[in-house]
Amino acid sequence: MIMAMFVWSKLSSEKWSDAWEERFSGNPALNLVLTTFPAKTTIRVEVYADKKKDVVAIQKEWGGSVREVKQQNWAALSKEPMPSIPVRDRLVIVSARTEAEVKKEQKAHPGREVIAIPADMAFGTGHHATTATVLRMMVDAADALEAQSWSMADLGCGSGILAIAARKLGAAKVWGCDFDPKAVSVSKENAERNATLGIKFTKLDVLTWEPKEQWDIVAANIFADILEQGFPQIVRSVKPGGVLLASGILKTQAPACLKVAERCGIRWDRVLTKGKWTTAMGRRV
């Protein structure tokens, strides 16, 4: 069966990127894609949804166009290559899709682990401020654990990029979950693309989740409202002394959101704001 989605699109000035992100954050029914073009100040804004009425409502408010896209055509949605993203001295995120493209990137970036994440369906390519900051923090946390066997859980896995990065950084056990079955499917495809076998991805809603085990590093790149509701079980999933990486938080929401985690037993060591977004790294006390 061929499944369809609907997309609203519009060209905009690059200076409004943060405004578009803020406008569509927190709505799990919508997936936002912002595409930049080299040497241009214009961006393409796209919002994907399962229901046509959701994108038609956006069109009525903001203009632009609406079209239907077939699932098998998702790979063709992002024809513009994304710039590579180095992460510390350990990783580099690229938009390679085929095995040949991945090998080419590996030759171009000796000494780094290459993570290939095609820019499909806004599930997380590493270009967003939240994902990029979590990746840098995870490298730092992984470096501190390098001498021991460690585990990682990726809550709200999206494209699987954080789980894949954990495996590339040496995690012995990695698990990811997302409430969206399409994200779970994309994560599995990306794990295969990056030869990071053994990562388990599960369809799961963190708000109804009862953790059965604990992890050395737990990454939750979700939204502030979901984090606030889910922090009790999220914190329980972190080993005592383990690391929690929380992101997807608008800076205006950060003080209240992070306070909830503190009441659940997290001591925040680093809180970074990039643009309108805040990412925090802490430990379970």
Query: pLDDT for 47-68, tens place per residue?
Result: 888 889 999 999 998 888 998 8
More confident residue, 16 or 142: 142
Smallest Cα–Cα separation from 220: which of 198, 241, 242?
242
Rg (CA), the chain: 18
What pLDDT was estimated at residue 38? Answer: 65
What is the average per-residue pLDDT within 34-54?
Answer: 82
Q: Are 127 and 92 in contact (CB under 8 A)?
A: no
Least confident of 24-33, 120-129, 146-155, 250-259: 120-129
Strands across the sheet containing 65-70: 31-36, 42-49, 4-13, 65-70
Q: Are 237 and 267 in contact (CB under 8 A)?
A: no
- In tens, the pLDDT along 199-208 reads 999 999 999 9
- Delimiting residues of CATH 3.30.70 domain(s) in the chain: 4-76
What is the average per-residue pLDDT within 237-260?
Answer: 95
Smallest Cα–Cα separation from 84: which of 67, 100, 106, 63?
106
- Delimiting residues of CATH 3.40.50.150 domain(s) in the chain: 123-284
Averaged pLDDT score across all residues of the chain: 87
pLDDT confidence tier of residue 34, bands split at 50, 70 and 90? confident
Portion of the chain with pLDDT greater than 90, in percent:
54
What is the average per-residue pLDDT within 122-150?
Answer: 83
What pLDDT was estimated at residue 1? Answer: 42
CATH of range 123-284; options 3.40.1640.10, 3.90.1720.10, 3.40.50.300, 3.40.50.150: 3.40.50.150
CATH of range 4-76; options 3.30.70, 3.40.50, 3.40.1010, 1.10.287: 3.30.70
Is pLDDT at 18 greater than 80 in this prediction? no
What is the average per-residue pLDDT within 183-210?
Answer: 93
